[in-house]
Amino acid sequence: IKIKITEIPIPVGFAPAFEGERVRKDDMFAEFGGGRTTAWELVRKRDLSEVEDHKIELIGPDIDTLGPDGGKLPLAIIVDVAGKNMQEDFEPVMERRIHYFTNYTEGVMHIGQRDIAWIRISKSAYEAGFRLKHIGEVLYAKMLDEFGSIADRVQVTIITDKEKVEELLEEVARPRYEARDARLAGLTDESVDTFYSCLLCQSFAPAHVCIVTPERLGLCGAVSWLDAKATYELDSTGPCQPIVKGECEDEVKGSWESINKRVAEQSHGATTKVNIYTIMEDPMTSCGCFECICGIMPEANGVIIVNREYHGMTPLGMTFGELASTTGGGVQTPGFMGHGRQFITSKKFLYADGGLARVVWMPKELKEALKEKLIERGKEIGIENFYDMIADEEVGVEPDAVVEFLTKVGHPALSMDPMF
């Protein structure tokens, strides 16, 4: 018999209503990740013998060692799940819920996923007695509550010891992230007959519908086509629903009648047409948790991409935050679009708009994180040194400086068809 846990033993409130709550700098006591410290999260399948149910362990200092003004710590959250119906395919599905469950906690803000997680704990939560083990209590209770059919035992390990966080990231977490990506690598949009819609973000962007395909993951970066499929297998009435593709209306822009119908239904009529391979005309809506935003830079006849972790200015004269406030909320914004990091090197990225060759600028960190794949895709599109042609903040954030650089390196966007 499974016991449904309704009360979670934590000193602050817990409800979906807290999801939209932001923890601003001035209200913040502790911060993890967000480009400031290493922070990652992982759900992994283990054998029953390896999991002690309800064990919650903290390795490293808790937040009350930070002193009266609080501060930053590295963080790893490992949720070990055992159960006879548990499959590796379900790991990323459960891992995505870490985002929701921590956000439902009063005074806790969670952004990102995998090794770009970003968590803040507010001063008032700290004063109420909230400590790191409470994150474990929340995750323990909610994982069993929502995934009771597959999880028999759950244990949570929270690590703040810097060396350990970094060591296990390389040894345990990254290999698992990579293995998941590799499982997806051989799949193309053409090779499947079903896409999926994801509605998880409707809790704060009520008209937002993600269309998830093998070559286009959810814009949070945390829901691949395989994950959406597993989510549906876990719960056939859940947030991810299959869309049988049927006949394609426009292979270049990426338009299907089946998608339009689904989006119209699930956005309650707010969006009736979506082209999944372009940002120019009826692009997919953006919720709020996109990893990156790409937007047109008219002077360069191309696009820039900026990731959430980059706090500086972009050549569009706006920061990530400023761009996010005009792009997000579940509306279509032609010329701008939220998307996952991995989508950038997909063949379907800007497919109708000229593809990867349109990308003229991105922050150095993002460029380096994608380096190998960008070099590989550059070769595929016949531009040997494309990686080196992409400007970054070191080239500049003034449009003039960027264009001067692009001209010097002979960036292909400058001579492509006008974007409008």
Q: Which residues bind Zn ion (CB under 5 A)?
A: 201, 220, 287, 289
Q: Distance between CA 169 and CA 291 in Å, rounded?
A: 20
Sign of CA dihedral 47, 53, 56, 59: negative
Closest CB 224 distance from ligand SF4, rounded Å: 9
Q: How many CB atoms lie within 10 A of CB 127?
A: 11
Q: Which of 39, 116, 287, 366 binds ligand SF4 (CB under 6 A)?
A: 287
Q: Distance between CA 371 and CA 384 in Å, rounded?
A: 13
Our finding on whether 292 is near ligand SF4 (CB under 6 A) is: no
Our finding on whether 111 is near ligand SF4 (CB under 6 A) is: no
**Which of the choices Zn ion, ligand SF4, none does residue 82 contact, using the CB cut-off of 5 to 8 A by kind?**
none
Closest CB 289 distance from Zn ion, rounded Å: 3
**Binding-residue pattern over the window 162 to 201 for ligand SF4, x denoting contact by CB under 6 A:** ------------------------------------x-xx
| Alpha carbon separation from 94 to 234, 292, 342 (Å, rounded) | 10, 22, 20
User: Which segment (133-141, 173-181, 217-225, 403-411) binds ligand SF4 by CB under 6 A?
Assistant: 217-225
Nearer to ligand SF4, 219 or 350 (CB): 219
Closest CB 205 distance from Zn ion, rounded Å: 6
Pull the structure tokens for residue 49.
Answer: 């013998």
Q: Which residues, numbered 252-281, are part of the site for ligand SF4 (CB under 6 A)?
A: none
Closest CB 288 distance from Zn ion, rounded Å: 6
Closest CB 97 distance from ligand SF4, rounded Å: 10
**Which of the choices ligand SF4, Zn ion, none does residue 173 contact, using the CB cut-off of 5 to 8 A by kind?**
none
Report which residue type is found at 318: M
**Which of the choices ligand SF4, Zn ion, none does residue 218 contact, using the CB cut-off of 5 to 8 A by kind?**
ligand SF4
Nearer to ligand SF4, 160 or 266 (CB): 266
**Which of the choices Zn ion, ligand SF4, none does residue 154 contact, using the CB cut-off of 5 to 8 A by kind?**
none
Task: Give the closest residue to 290 by CA, choosing from 256, 238, 326.
Answer: 326
Q: Which of 83, 218, 330, 355 binds ligand SF4 (CB under 6 A)?
A: 218
Q: Distance between CA 9 and CA 134 in Å, rounded?
A: 8
| Alpha carbon separation from 52 to 15, 56, 82, 143 (Å, rounded) | 27, 9, 9, 15
DSSP per-residue letters across 68-90: TT-EE--EEEEEEEE-TT--GGG
Closest CB 126 distance from ligand SF4, rounded Å: 28
Residues 6+ apart with CB under 8 A from 264: 271, 272
Q: Distance between CA 147 and CA 149 in Å, rounded?
A: 5
Q: Distance between CA 32 and CA 39 in Å, rounded?
A: 6
User: What is the separation of C-alpha 5 from the centre of its chain, rounded to a whole number of angstroms?
Assistant: 28
CA atoms within a 13 Å half-sphere pointing along the CA-CB vector of 274: 28
Q: Which of 77, 132, 165, 222 binds ligand SF4 (CB under 6 A)?
A: 222
Question: CA angle, corner 141, sides to 73 and 144, nearest 5?
Answer: 120
Nearer to ligand SF4, 287 or 370 (CB): 287
Report which residue type is found at 310: Y
**Which of the choices ligand SF4, Zn ion, none does residue 198 contact, using the CB cut-off of 5 to 8 A by kind?**
ligand SF4
**Which of the choices ligand SF4, Zn ion, none does residue 156 contact, using the CB cut-off of 5 to 8 A by kind?**
none
Nearer to Zn ion, 77 or 201 (CB): 201
Q: Which of 28, 56, 165, 289 binds ligand SF4 (CB under 6 A)?
A: 289
Task: Give the closest residue to 272 by CA, choosing from 281, 280, 282, 244.
Answer: 282
Binding site for ligand SF4 (CB under 6 A): 198, 200-201, 210, 212, 218-220, 222-223, 287, 289
